Every structure is written in structure tokens, then in C-alpha cells.
Chains A and B, each alone.
Chain A
Amino acid sequence: MQRDLLEQQLSRKELQDLRNKRTGLLIFQISWIMVFVCLVVVNWQLRFVTTTWPPPGVEKLPWTLPTLATGLLLISAFLARRATQAVKENRNAQFLALWRIAIALGIAFVVLMAFEWVTLPYSQTYSDVFRTMTGFHIVHALAIGAFMINIYQGARAGKYGQTNFWPVEGATSLWYFVVVAWILFYVVLYWI
């Protein structure tokens, strides 16, 4: 139904552009997740050069706060998804409400992980690889989070709607990327 509507309201070129953007973003995500996979490989290879992981005398990473942060991030992505559906159906007020909470939860995630990043004591490669992985992830969360805030401001001015939803859809898709990349890191850092 959404597709029919679009085909009625958009020109051939606009439809082509939308299709290109969707494919392009997907390929970018497949590509860029490989940097995160690379860091996972780094993490694994560093395990091979010590007898135990964490290395002898080093405490394992605490997992309670990160698990809470992960939960918040998942809820945030779920709300962003609902918000995107709202904007595609022209329910702007609902979009703003959901999007606001999604951003707030994202900020909470970043604050919690930044706290972990700062407070972890130095323990050679064990802390180095943790800080590199989480730091790299936080940079992405911040950049995409800033984009989401930008979209929030645009939406308050009524910029998005039924046929002009791509920035919202793109931001949500990038936010999923942050979630998928984090789940990958979370499992590797805390559970394997």
C-alpha cells in the first residue's frame, strides 16, 4: 500500500533515487560492519597470545551496567522503528514523541558506556582492545545520534511526511546499524 502510494505521488526519477538510496545505505552498512568484524578478529587474535583471557591477574569486565545499556539501546531502536512508521503515515505528533524518547535512550546508552570506558583500569591489551572497540562504537553512536537530533528539529518544523520520509528511514536504518554493531561487540566482550 505504501509502495502504491509512492508510485502515485513520486516521479520516476524520485522513485529511482529512493531505490538507489535504500540500496546504497544497505551496501554501506554491509561494508562498514566489516570494520567492527575486524575489531572482533583483533580481539580474538589477542586472546591467543596469552594463556588466559582476561590475562592472569586482570579482572573480567563487569557486565551489569553494559547489559542495562544494551537493553536501553534495543528499546531505543524499537521506538525509532515505531516512529518511522508514524512518519510514513503522517502522524507527526506521535513521531516526535517516540523519536524524542529514542534519542534520550540513546544518550543514556552512550553515557553508561562512556562511564565504563573511563573507569576501566589499564591492563595492557585487555583494556586497550576494550577501549578501542567501545570507543569506536561510541563515536558511531554519537555521530548517528547527532543526525537523529537534527532530524528531530526538522520534524518539528514539519519537514517530513508520507512521501518525504527518507531522512527518517535512513537515520533509523543507521541506528539499527549501531545496535547490530553493539550486539556483536557486547557478545564478544562480555560473554565469549
Chain B
Amino acid sequence: MASITAPLGQAQTTAPGLKVSDFFRWSVDHKIIGIQYMATAIFFFIVGGALAMLIRWELLTPTLDLMQNGEQYNTLFSIHATVMIFLWIIPMFAGFGNYLVPLMLGAKDMAFPWLNAFAFWLIPPAGILLLLGWFVGPAQAGWTSYPPLSTLYSGDGQTLWAMALHLLGISSILGAINFIVTIKNMRPQGMGYWQMPLFVWAILATSIIVVLATPFLAGALTLLILDRVAGTSFFDPANGGDALLWQNVFWFYSHPAVYIMVLPGMGVISELLSVHSRKPIFGYRAIALSSMAIALVGFTVWAHHMFTSLTPELRIPFMVTSMIIAVPTGIKIFSWLGTLWGGKIRFTSAMLFALGFLSMFVIGGISGVMLGSVPVDIHLHDTYFVVSHLHFVLYGGSVFAIFGGIYHWFPKMFGKKLDERLGKLHFALTYVGFFFTFFPQHIAGMLGMPRRVAVYDPQFQQINVIISIASFVLGIATFVLLYNIVVTLIAGKRVGANPWRALTLEWATSSPPPAYNFIGDPVPFEDPYGYGTEESVAYLDALEKRFPPPVDTSATLTRAPQSGD
């Protein structure tokens, strides 16, 4: 029975008076840390995006024009990828997790607030270290940093690159430990694992991958640094080492890392689709367990990145496991479609990005299955097809989910709703720009255009011009979001505590929540996705009464005073 009277405690309804400078200071409040993560990640998104624009500018013509030589171009895409993966997507989702997990669990903070702040504060110095590499002979071995490129040919920036990744890895591990402990120990009464919001399930699955896989990155980076500065020869075949050693250890981390980047996005999508279509999520347990299945099977597929250097008998098992990943992913996709089916869909900006995710991620998933097939991969290895695939998953997947999440939870974080018209413009430009940036790359790749080259066969120029122009549209689209954020923060209208009428616990307190989130212990609604029932309507109405929407002062002012007022 939905009752609001006991559950909510007496949370303050006034917003905490935070200043901008509070976000530049050490704080152990998970909400401030969450926003610190996100703001830092968005900063690096702009840096990585600018590098991407330079890459596309260079590729407008088949010859060198912006860059003086191929090595400069190598640096460009190496740092672009590293920044986007390690300083944008991973910390951005860590930001969402930090902000939302304690709130969704009705907790006052994370299990280890100090550790949480420490994990965040490792990120800015790591980012600076990475970018400083530019001045000491930059890294130019790609984000994958295969030896001997990363041992013999890159400058000292490669060592800084490895040290920066070390810091980021440690930050990830500490963050993940915090998430697991928080989720395991700090759920409220009445919330078993099967009543947790799916975003929390996704963060749990992600954190399990982080704690088990990221140490392998630490191991690999340690060996790389030793080879570069201490004279060891782990990756040098001339002295008894093995170049493939790096690939094995690196991909044992980095393939699971792909799921580190996309599982939280899937969690976001599960929340968005249910709330904005006013329907219970279809296949709750299937979605929750498929996250775990992806996490588990994700550890068995790494060598599909090495099909071309693997002995033939080893290729088949890795092909099979790679294809199996499509099963839990498919379960999610069909569950989401089932959620939408017959729902009262509201085409909010958040929902548009969620739907955009669904369509684009499916394309990325399918091209992934194609690449998982050995004969196809042998043909497409190191071509633009791979570039296309990974961007469909990471941009069409993770970044669309991030954008959707920003529109959805912005009112929670700041008590103001982002402008919907600008949001829709952002979506339209992003969707079209994204599609025409990355879809034609499939074709270029199939025709044989190799990745990671600044000088290419003139026959590919036409398609590259289309790609570059679309990418500039995609770049501009991001500024619509940034403009929207700035304008809303300065002059946006305040909204109520729960503008989307969502049932998960993060909305059962004021927006933004007070220090320590809830006063008293909140009791969750029995089903976090139980939309469309009388109980849920009663619960949401009671919530609205408890945290009423702000009085619209402009309306009050224009109304003529009447007698008896």
C-alpha cells in the first residue's frame, strides 16, 4: 500500500545555499563530488572534442595540411581517445553514480565519503599530467599503446601517459569499492537487491568489473613504465620479451572497460524509458541480471582484439564468447522495447536521447557482432569500420545516455529544468551530426580505408568530406547543451522536487537535496517502476504535497490584487 506519511521523514524543503566556489574545494558530500566529477569530465569532453575537430579538419583532404607530419597526427588521435575514455566517459558516469546511488538508496552519503573525495581529486592532476606530455615528446601510440610503438618510438609523454592512467585507474578502483560497499551495506529497510533501481544494478555490475579488471591495467602500465625507464625488456623480443604480452594484459582490462563505459549508460536508459513512458520496466530481473552476465562474459572475450595476431585454433573460442555477449545485450534491448510498448511516451529531451541511444546502440552492437566474426574481422581489422563501430557504441551508446541523464537529473541537481526547446535542438543536431559522422565510416572501412592515418588514398576524399562536415555539426551541437546549462543555471525557472513524477527514491527529497539528503530514514515505494497504478499516483501526489512546486512569482506579480487576497 502506498503511503507517504511515514516514509519520507521530514526532509528540508529549502535548497542548500551552495556557492560556485564550493565546487572547487575539497568536499566529502557525495552530491558535490558527483557534480565535481561531471564538471571535470565535461571540461575534458571539450578538450577531447576539440582534438576530434582537428582530426576531422586534417582529414578533409588526403594530404597533410593542418599537421606537419604523421607523428603529430598520431599524437592527436592518441590523446583524443585517451581523454574521451579515461577523462570523459568513465568519470562522467562516476559522477552520475556518486550523485545518484546514495540518493536512490535513501542513504545519507556514500560508505566512505573521504575516500570518495580522494578518488575524485586524483582525476584533475592525472588529466594535467596527460596533457603535459605534449611538451616533452607526446605519446603517439594510440590509446592502446602497443609496443614497440609505445616503447621505442614515443617520447617521454608516453611515460606521463602511463602515469596518468595509473592515477585514473586507482581513482576508478577506489570509486568502485565505495559503490560496492554502499550498495551492499547501505540499502534502506524494504529495499532488497530486487527492489533496487536498475541504475544502481548497473553501477554494481560496473564496479565489479572495475575492481577485477582495472588492476590488470595497473600491472600492464607498471611493466610499460619499467620498460621505458628502468631498462627491463618485457615487451622486447630481442631480449627475451614478448610484444603480445602487452596486448593480452592490456585487453584483459580494456575489453571489460568497454562495459565499464556502457553499463552505467544502460542503467540510465532503463530509468529514463520507464519514467518518460509512464510504464513499469519490462523484464526488471532480466535487465538486472543481464548486466551481471555482460560483466561476467566480458572477461572472456579480450583476444578478439588480437584475431590477426592469434593462432587460428585460439580464434574460435574467442569468437564464440564475443558473440555470446550479444545475448544479454539483446535481452536488454528487447526489454526496453517492451517497456515502451503501449506506454504514454513523452518526447522530452531526456527521452529523445534515450530513444536515440536505442537506435544507435543497436547499430553499434550489430557491427560489433560482425567484427566478432573472425573472417569479417580479418578483412576489417584496423580499418575505419572499427572506428565507426566503437563510436556507435561509445558515442551513440554511452554519450547519448549521458546527455539523456543530464536532461533527466539536472532538475534534481539544481532545482531547475533545462530548456526543452534547446534540448530538442541539441538532440536533433547531435543525432543527425552523429549519424553522418560515423555511419559513412562503415563504408570507408569496408572499402579499405585504414584507421590512424593522416594521408589516405584520394578515392576516399568525398566520403571524408561528408564525415568531417557532419562532425563539425556534432561539435557545434555540444555548445547548444553547454549554452543551455549556463542559461538555465543563471536564469532558469525553479521546478518542484519531482518534475518527472518519478518513483525512485532520489526524487523523494527536495531538489537539490539538503545536506545528508534525507532527514529521517526514507522508505522506498514498493516497486521503483510501478507506474500506472493508483498507489503510485497516490504516492506521487503525496510527494508533491510534501515538496510542493515553487510558487511562480512572475505569475503572482502580473495578477492584479483582488479584495480578500
Contacts and interface: CB of A to CB of B under 8 A. Distances in A.
Interface of A: 16, 19-20, 23-24, 27-28, 30-35, 37-39, 41-42, 45-46, 48-50, 55, 124-126, 128-129, 131-132, 136
Of the four ranges (under 10, 10 to 19, 20 to 34, 35 or more), the interface on chain B belongs to: 35 or more
B239 A38 contact: no
Nearest to B216: A38
B182 to A, nearest CB: 8
Given A19-B185, A45-B245, A34 B177 contact: no
Contacts of A50: 240
B245 A46 contact: yes
Interface centre among A28, A32, A34 (most CB of B within 10 A): A34
B239 to A, nearest CB: 5
B173 interface: yes
A46 B241 CA distance: 6
Contact of B112 (A24, A32, A129): A24
Contacts of A41: 248-249, 252
A45 B241 CA distance: 9
Contacts of B184: 23
21 contacts: A16-B186, A20-B181, A20-B185, A23-B111, A23-B180, A23-B181, A24-B177, A32-B173, A35-B216, A38-B216, A41-B248, A42-B245, A45-B245, A46-B245, A49-B240, A124-B241, A125-B234, A126-B240, A129-B234, A131-B232, A136-B222
B38 interface: no
Nearest to B241: A125
Given A27-B211, A41-B252, 17 more contacts: A20-B112, A23-B111, A23-B180, A23-B184, A24-B111, A24-B181, A31-B176, A31-B177, A34-B216, A35-B216, A35-B219, A38-B218, A38-B219, A46-B242, A124-B239, A126-B240, A129-B234
Contacts of A45: 242, 244-245, 248
Contacts of A37: 215
B2 interface: no
A33 B219 CA distance: 11
Contacts of B125: none
B7 interface: no
State the majority secondary structure of interface residues on B. Answer: helix
A128 B234 contact: yes
Contact of B111 (A20, A28, A32, A132): A20
A128 B232 contact: yes
Interface in B203-241: 211-216, 218-220, 222-223, 226, 232-234, 237, 239-241
A62 B245 CA distance: 26
Nearest to A123: B240
Given A31-B173, A31-B212, A38 B220 contact: yes
Contacts of A33: 215
Interface of B: 111-112, 115, 173, 176-178, 180-181, 184-186, 211-216, 218-220, 222-223, 226, 232-234, 237, 239-242, 244-245, 248-249, 252
Contacts of B176: 31
Given A31-B173, A128-B232, A42 B185 contact: no
Nearest to B179: A27
Contact of B233 (A19, A48, A128): A128
Contact of B242 (A16, A19, A49, A126): A49
Given A35-B215, A38-B249, A128-B232, A24 B240 contact: no
A16 B248 contact: no
A124 B233 contact: yes
A22 to B, nearest CB: 9
Contacts of B177: 24, 27-28, 31
Nearest to A38: B219
A34 B222 CA distance: 14
State the majority secondary structure of interface residues on A. Answer: helix
B185 A132 contact: no
Contact of B223 (A27, A42, A49): A42
A108 B241 CA distance: 33
A25 to B, nearest CB: 9
B516 to A, nearest CB: 12
Nearest to A131: B232
Contacts of B233: 124-125, 128
A106 B234 CA distance: 30
A131 B233 CA distance: 12
A133 B237 CA distance: 20
A118 to B, nearest CB: 15
A53 to B, nearest CB: 10
A157 to B, nearest CB: 24
Q: What 8 A-B pairs are tightest by C-beta distance, nearest first? A: A38-B219, A34-B215, A31-B211, A125-B240, A124-B240, A20-B111, A35-B215, A128-B232
A132 B229 CA distance: 13
B246 to A, nearest CB: 10
A131 B222 CA distance: 13
A104 B234 CA distance: 35
A30 B213 CA distance: 11
B212 A132 contact: no
Contacts of B252: 38, 41
Nearest to A35: B215
Contacts of A131: 232
A33 B111 CA distance: 22
Given A23-B181, A128-B232, A39 B240 contact: no
A158 to B, nearest CB: 26
A186 B233 CA distance: 22
A50 B178 CA distance: 42
A132 B223 contact: yes
B245 A132 contact: no
Contact of B237 (A27, A28, A30, A49): A49
Nearest to A40: B219
Given A30-B211, A38-B249, A24 B223 contact: no
Contacts of B173: 28, 31-32
Contacts of A16: 185-186
Contact of B178 (A24, A124, A126, A132): A24
Contacts of A30: 211-212
A131 B223 CA distance: 12
Contact of A132 (B218, B232, B239, B240): B232
Given A46-B240, A48-B242, A27 B218 contact: no
Contact of A23 (B185, B234, B237, B240): B185
A46 B223 CA distance: 13
Given A16-B186, A24-B111, A55-B240, A42 B219 contact: yes
A56 B177 CA distance: 44
A19 B112 CA distance: 12
A78 B132 CA distance: 47
A152 B244 CA distance: 46
A62 B57 CA distance: 60
